[in-house]
Structure 1
Amino acid sequence: MKYRFIILSLCLMLFFLRSYSQNIKFEHYNENGGLSHNSVRHIVQDKHGFLWLGTFSGLNRFDGYEFKSFLSSSEGNNKINNNDITALELDEVSNHLWIGTRKGLTLLELDTYKFTTFLTEKGNPNSLQDEEIRSIYVDKYKRVWVGTKDQGVFLFHFEENRFEKIELTGFNYVKEIFEDSSGNTWVGSYGTASVAKINLDVSGNIKQVTSYKLNIPNSLEVNPYLNFIYEDAKRDIFIGTRKGLYKLNKKLNEFENLYIENNGIRDALGPYFLTVAQAPDGKYWVGTLGGLLVCDQLEDISKGDFKRYYSVLTDQTSLVDNLVSALYFDASGILWIGTEDGLDKYDPFENQFNLNKDISRFIGNQAPRVRGFARTYNDKVMVATRHNGLFISDGDHFIPLYNNQKDIASIYSIDGRIFYCGLWNGKLLAYNYITNKSREIDIGFEKSPVSAFENLGENKLMVGSFGEGAVILDTKSRDGKSSKMALL
């Protein structure tokens, strides 16, 4: 019986503590632990659970404990061609990892760990025409889209070992390629062009191309450097750039800058929106020049409605660096964060608790002696303290509810309206939440505090103590002295 009470109290404690913002902690990995370079720009996870990290100097495989680096300087011929990893794309069906570098497109077959690099072949029009890769995407037709630095977009037909140039006027430097839920392919650039939406027919052939221009608030400049194209759960399209975050207005068919009007917030974040990922709980995590943002909807950022996590030099558990280049939630829900100063890990299951000091404010800033929790009929949480009475949740805070100087040892309720508070003198305090009145019931205990409860049904409540057994209370009796009790 007492164990059920303890379990209930712990569950309510979790609810109580998790109702408030968490002071989350990050675990750091860097070159000292085997990472080939601290600048982590790309993260994917294969079907075996390995994380693959693209850095400024080398490809890394991470099993959660150790790093294995793949470098151009590795022994033998089976190796990556260039260490500067500019893109990573995993084809889960074929178990292929496509790797973009400054010197060629590389395929790593994860079943055999065989590397194949595709370079420009003089006199071969079907070869890759630009060796500096900036983006890769495998579409639903299992075709590999390749964005380059100077020559635009290519489609790689793997079975034919043939690259096909996709003609998009102005799209020379292609930073991002993305496929939305409707099957449209989006291509992102900057300067001479910005964003193109490619509509495909049922066979995957290009049917229509729509180009968009990105205007910059308070500037004559257009088409800023693009970092990502993203579709949220509402199927809205967002673009992260070096000049802020943009959203497609579907009615006007144009992108609008979600400008942050608050100067302080805008300055703290910086203009760069670098990466985005949705957590299993539905919230969005956004990497910026000024750290990590967490919000319910991406539109909320312009209003300042978000939580921000950033690097603090005096806090070793804070984010290691504010420039967040990559975000990835793995299969277990852990967030991996690529920064310019190493890889960070955030495990939400290790950050469940946070200290709440609301009650202390009402008792002279002393630590309350909390004796239990109970839920009210209107879904609030009641907190029982030993010397300071009852407190109740009010939104994100706790406020005094009923302070009668009784020495409370436990609390229990059947219906969320009447609350039974076990007292240290062996008696019961029956508190009516609706009327804010109480009465004290003598149930026969003389030396031991009331510590546990069990609902027996039919208006019967078993009440126990650690030293004097248990009694059965008729909860419908209005006279505490005449309540039907049986000493067990």
Structure 2
Amino acid sequence: MLFNTLSKNLAFLLFILISFSAYSQSLEPLKFHHIQDGMSQSSATKLLEDRYGFIWVGTRNGLNKYDGKDFEIFRKSTDNKTGLSHEYVVELYEDGENLLIGTNEGLNLYDRSLNIVTPFPFINEGLHIKDRSFQSVARINGELWLGTESAGLYKYNENTGKISHFTLDNDKLEVVNPRINKIHKIIPLDANRVLIISSYNIIVTNNNLEILNEVQAIENIISAISLEDNNFLLGTNNGSLIRLNVSLTSKIEKDKKQVSPGFGIRSLAKNLDNEFWIGTENNGLYIYSTELEFIRHLEYHVSKPNSISGNSIWSLLCTRNGTMWVAPYKSGLNFYDPEYFKFKHINSDPFNHKSLSNKLVNCFIEDANGNFWIGTDGGGLNYWNRAFDTFEHYALKNKTLNTNVVLSILQNKEDELWLGTWTNGITVFNTKTKKFKELNTENSFLNSNIIIDFLKDKKGHIWIINYFAGVQVYDPNTNSHKNVILNSDVDGVEINSIYQIFEDHLGQMWIGTLNSGLFKLTENNGTWTTTHYSTHNSLSNNFVNTIIQDSESTLWVGTQGGLNKYNAENDSFKAIT
């Protein structure tokens, strides 16, 4: 009987372990990108995304503004006029167009119009607090609420310089902690109430700093974030999460969950999937659901280059586009972008005969099965079976194609590809039989044996772009063709340097050239009328790289001289700079 009971318990335990293991393995690993260079210091203390999308990084030695490529650094002042009042940044707060920066010694102002940082201009009574360590900042009803590291909270009126001081009643706490009066967060609840979160106190006040309700915490709170509907999430020094709700009557309800026992929760953020990212001190990163159910635990691994770069997570940030920024102690910055690693790099491998035949890819199309036909510059045509991740090669080397250079591909029929080649005209390739035939200047209507682009329009006509030999239109139904003549409006000469072709939602054809601007072709009773756009009227540059139309039917043209937006009302382009 005892044996049977033990067997059942062991079987149940084994089932749980296997289930948990299977669940863990089913999660795709998160891959982090690392930024190690360019910052003023390798330990980021605070992260903020401003209204313009810049990422601001406070460190132990200066402030950094990141534009996605480079860092602009603001350091400690050397003249007490411009620069930070102290190098150690502990708070970042966006205040309208500008930023307020809390440091270990004073508040600072970033003036966006001048792109400079200066010590905050306190006046009158405010001069008495100008050197405080401001750990939290909020502007409420036009006044600044400033939370300090050890002296409670100050409310400051910028017009009069008057200050109001709010101190914490911690006399009953039997705690030895120099940061017992630290204010971690100041959050407006509504027009008349404010939530103040300190190391050991959760307080609701009115705008005059009169206490409406107060709860004293048992554990030391070291992090906090706002959620929706006056809900909040707090992290403690002992590794607990506290979920907090403040009612309309200022009643405070809270429940606690142990997440990282013995390892403090230094940072918190919520991603766009409504998951909580929980940064700990020396125990990595946890991710929990909104129901506070465990999802995963991430740690630094020296053998995994895309893991987080450290296990002490000092700051977390979720940007508007869903990118998660992680600031590990002395380890630069990490970011996880769900879109960043969606692209798999496919390259040729000389030791794998079923890999891509050549790394230079000119063109590709997807077939009905979700596989790809790929034209290369030197390796002929490839067929990529995505399920097996293998490539079939068609080229001169194995005598399965008449060329090694495929410049363009058109799916003409379900089982037929047209391949634009370099010096071999058009290769008509049957995808079922794998047989091919060649159309060139000697046996067909082609003006050139170099075909750089195709387009099949809404009527089934095939537009063919010849290399420096103009545009031709082929009608498969009548087996006939036309040569399209494009003349410059500038000097009247015929333009043959065609590079791009595009059909818009109205069936108008747009043809981009290498150095002669852009043409619009509009059909009327079987004839085409042309409009020429160049630098002589509204186009920013005559070299057209790409043409595209968005979901709102706006046409965009990319040139060597920037992006152009088409205005259909006045039939002209506006350069976007």
Compute the TM-score of the two structures, normalised by the length of structure 2. Answer: 0.50
User: Which amino acid is 1:98 matched to?
Assistant: L
* Cα separation, 2, equivalents of 1:49 and 1:24: 23
- Mean alpha-carbon deviation: is it higher for 68-77 or for 343-352? 68-77
User: Which amino acid is 1:195 matched to?
Assistant: I
Instruction: Kindly indicate whether residue 432 of structure 2 is the aligned counterpart of residue 467 of structure 1.
Output: yes
Aligned residue number for residue 105 of structure 2: 103
Instruction: Kindly indicate whether residue 269 of structure 2 is the aligned counterpart of residue 277 of structure 1.
Output: yes
- Give the number of equivalent residue pairs: 324
Preserved CA contact (<8 Å) 1:238 1:247: yes
User: Which amino acid is 1:56 matched to?
Assistant: R
Aligned partner of 1:245 among 241, 244, 263: 241
User: Which amino acid is 2:157 matched to?
Assistant: H
* Cα separation, 2, equivalents of 1:76 and 1:174: 27
Q: Show structure 2 runs of 5+ residues with no match.
A: 1-24, 171-178, 345-367, 371-385, 389-413, 417-429, 435-577
Preserved CA contact (<8 Å) 2:125 2:161: no
Aligned partner of 2:29 among 13, 23, 31: 23
* Cα separation, 2, equivalents of 1:284 and 1:75: 43
Q: What is the CA-CA distance between 1:185 and the residue it aligns to?
A: 2.2
Give deviations 1:126-155, integer Å, cap 9, x for gaps: 434372324223245243211112321011
Aligned residue number for residue 351 of structure 1: 341
Aligned residue number for residue 175 of structure 1: 183
Instruction: Kindly indicate whether residue 325 of structure 2 is the aligned counterpart of residue 323 of structure 1.
Output: no
Instruction: Kindly indicate whether residue 308 of structure 2 is the aligned counterpart of residue 296 of structure 1.
Output: no
User: Which amino acid is 1:108 matched to?
Assistant: Y
Preserved CA contact (<8 Å) 1:249 1:256: no
Q: What is the CA-CA distance between 1:56 and the residue it aligns to?
A: 0.8
Aligned partner of 1:186 among 195, 205, 217: 195
Q: What is the CA-CA distance between 1:255 and the residue it aligns to?
A: 3.6
Preserved CA contact (<8 Å) 1:276 1:286: yes
* Cα separation, 2, equivalents of 1:187 and 1:209: 11
When residues 173 and 253 of structure 1 are mapped into structure 2, their CA distance, relative to the original with a 3 A threshold, is: closer
When residues 34 and 239 of structure 1 are mapped into structure 2, their CA distance, relative to the original with a 3 A threshold, is: same
User: Which amino acid is 2:432 matched to?
Assistant: G
Q: What is the CA-CA distance between 1:98 and the residue it aligns to?
A: 0.8
Give deviations 1:454-486, integer Å, cap 9, x for gaps: xxxxxxxxxxx94379xxxxxxxxxxxxxxxxx
When residues 120 and 143 of structure 1 are mapped into structure 2, their CA distance, relative to the original with a 3 A threshold, is: closer
Preserved CA contact (<8 Å) 2:80 2:119: no
* Cα separation, 1, equivalents of 2:76 and 2:246: 46
When residues 293 and 180 of structure 1 are mapped into structure 2, their CA distance, relative to the original with a 3 A threshold, is: farther
Q: What is the CA-CA distance between 1:36 and the residue it aligns to?
A: 1.0
When residues 282 and 292 of structure 1 are mapped into structure 2, their CA distance, relative to the original with a 3 A threshold, is: same
Q: What is the CA-CA distance between 1:297 and the residue it aligns to?
A: 1.2
* Cα separation, 2, equivalents of 1:297 and 1:114: 40
User: Which amino acid is 2:226 matched to?
Assistant: E
SS in 1 for 2:217: coil
Aligned partner of 1:47 among 48, 51, 59: 51
User: Which amino acid is 1:293 matched to?
Assistant: Y
* Cα separation, 2, equivalents of 1:128 and 1:76: 17
Aligned partner of 1:231 among 222, 226, 230: 226
SS in 2 for 1:49: coil
When residues 26 and 276 of structure 1 are mapped into structure 2, their CA distance, relative to the original with a 3 A threshold, is: same
User: Which amino acid is 2:151 matched to?
Assistant: Q
* Cα separation, 1, equivalents of 2:327 and 2:160: 35
Aligned residue number for residue 94 of structure 2: 90
Q: What is the CA-CA distance between 1:240 and the residue it aligns to?
A: 0.9
Preserved CA contact (<8 Å) 1:119 1:131: no
Aligned residue number for residue 164 of structure 2: 164
Preserved CA contact (<8 Å) 2:136 2:185: yes
Preserved CA contact (<8 Å) 1:186 1:229: no
Aligned residue number for residue 412 of structure 1: none
* Cα separation, 2, equivalents of 1:249 and 1:144: 24
User: Which amino acid is 1:214 matched to?
Assistant: A
Aligned partner of 1:208 among 204, 208, 211: 211
Aligned partner of 2:42 among 38, 52, 64: 38
Q: What is the CA-CA distance between 1:194 and the residue it aligns to?
A: 2.4
Aligned residue number for residue 152 of structure 2: 152
* Cα separation, 2, equivalents of 1:245 and 1:97: 30
Aligned residue number for residue 295 of structure 2: 306
Preserved CA contact (<8 Å) 1:45 1:51: yes
1:470-485 correspondence to structure 2 within 5 Å: none
Preserved CA contact (<8 Å) 1:148 1:172: no
* Cα separation, 2, equivalents of 1:50 and 1:250: 32
Aligned residue number for residue 431 of structure 1: none
When residues 108 and 64 of structure 1 are mapped into structure 2, their CA distance, relative to the original with a 3 A threshold, is: same
Preserved CA contact (<8 Å) 1:311 1:322: yes
Give deviations 1:179-211, integer Å, cap 9, x for gaps: 155454222333xx422222x2xxx43453322
* Cα separation, 2, equivalents of 1:165 and 1:38: 35
1:429-468 correspondence to structure 2 within 5 Å: 466-467=431-432
* Cα separation, 1, equivalents of 2:295 and 2:144: 36
* Cα separation, 1, equivalents of 2:255 and 2:432: 70
Preserved CA contact (<8 Å) 1:130 1:148: no
Aligned residue number for residue 383 of structure 2: none
User: Which amino acid is 1:285 matched to?
Assistant: W
* Cα separation, 2, equivalents of 1:258 and 1:277: 16
SS in 2 for 1:299: coil
* Cα separation, 1, equivalents of 2:369 and 2:27: 22
> Sequence identity, in percent?
20
* Cα separation, 1, equivalents of 2:313 and 2:109: 26
* Cα separation, 1, equivalents of 2:158 and 2:149: 21
Q: What is the CA-CA distance between 1:161 and the residue it aligns to?
A: 3.5
- Mean alpha-carbon deviation: is it higher for 96-105 or for 151-160? 151-160
Q: Show structure 1 runs of 5+ residues with no match.
A: 1-18, 216-222, 261-265, 355-370, 374-383, 387-449, 453-464, 470-488
Give deviations 1:307-340, integer Å, cap 9, x for gaps: 1221101112110011111111223221111121
| CA root-mean-square deviation | 3.7
* Cα separation, 1, equivalents of 2:212 and 2:130: 23
Compute the TM-score of the two structures, normalised by the length of structure 1. Answer: 0.58
Preserved CA contact (<8 Å) 2:106 2:134: no
User: Which amino acid is 1:281 matched to?
Assistant: D
Give deviations 1:344-376, integer Å, cap 9, x for gaps: 11111123489xxxxxxxxxxxxxxxx969xxx
* Cα separation, 1, equivalents of 2:27 and 2:34: 22
When residues 136 and 307 of structure 1 are mapped into structure 2, their CA distance, relative to the original with a 3 A threshold, is: same
Q: What is the CA-CA distance between 1:73 and the residue it aligns to?
A: 5.4
- Mean alpha-carbon deviation: is it higher for 160-169 or for 60-69? 160-169
SS in 1 for 2:28: coil
When residues 158 and 64 of structure 1 are mapped into structure 2, their CA distance, relative to the original with a 3 A threshold, is: same
Give deviations 1:2-22, integer Å, cap 9, x for gaps: xxxxxxxxxxxxxxxxx9522
